[in-house]
Amino acid sequence: MTSNVVREILRETEARLAELPEVGPKTRVQITDPRNLTARAASLRSRGISPIIAEIKPRILNRTLSPDEVASIARGYEDMEACGISVLTQPTYFLGSLDNARIARKVATIPILRKDFILDERQLDEVGSDLVLLIATFSKPLDDLVEAALSRNLEPLVEVHTGAELEMVLKTDARIVGINNRNLATLEVSLETFERLGPMAKDSGLFVVAESGIYSRKDVLRMEDAGADALLVGTSLMKEPELLKALNGMGHP
C-alpha cells in the first residue's frame, strides 16, 4: 500500500528507465575514491558531534536550485560539520537532478548520498556518488541491487519501514540501513517507528540511520537513545540551514 504521490513517482521513474542504456563496460560507473560514511560518523562522535546527513531537497523551497545554490548549500553543510550530504535527484516531484549530486560531490569532501527511487541496476551508473539509497519495498530484487552497488564501490543505504523489510535487508550484504519514520501509505511521520525497529537493526550489527521527522536536538537525542548511528535530516535544514549546528550539538538547542 503506497500513497498516490509515491505511485506517481514510481510511474515517472519507470518512464525514465526506458531511456537508459544497457549495463556494459562503457556505461558502468566505478567509484575510485569512495568516502566512508561510517568512518566519518565515528570521527564526529569522537568530538562530541552527532552525525547528521544533511539533505539538499529542492521541493521544500518549491523550485529547482541553481548550480551556485547547490554548491553553496553543500559547502555550508560541510562547514557546519555534517556527516554527509544527501542529494535528491528525482526530477519531477522533488525537483532534483543528477547534476546536483555531481556538484555536491565536487565542492564538498564528505560522503554524498544519492537519494532517488532506484528500481534498476542501470540507475547506479547515472552519477558517481559515495552512497546510494535503495528502498527495500521498491528496489527489487534487493540482494541483486545491493551486490551491483557494492561492485561499483557504491555503498547502499537500504531504507526500511517495517520489521519484515528489515529482515529482507539482513539477508543481503548491506552494511547500512535507514529506518524511515514516514509511513509510505499515509505519509504520516512517527518517531516511534525508529524506536521500534532501531534496536533490532543495531543488534544485528548494521550501521543504523534514522530518517524523517527530526526537527530539534531533543529529537536527535531521542533517536540516538534508540540506537541511531547517524540521522538524515532534510525538510528542517532546507528551511533553516543554520539549524544543523543545533541538531548536531555544536550550537544551542
Q: Catalytic site residues?
A: 55, 57, 115, 159, 180, 211-212
Mention every residue, 6+ apart, whose C-beta is less than 8 A from residue 19.
Answer: none
Neighbours of 241 (CB within 10 A): 17
Asked whether the beta carbons of 110 and 82 are under 8 A apart, the reply is yes
User: Residue with C-alpha cell 552512497?
Assistant: 131
Dihedral of the CA atoms 200, 226, 41, 94 (nearest 10)? 90
Q: How far is residue 157's CA from residue 113's CA, in Å, rounded to a whole number?
A: 8
Q: How far is residue 97's CA from residue 28's CA, in Å, rounded to a whole number?
A: 19
Asked whether the beta carbons of 237 and 219 are under 8 A apart, the reply is no
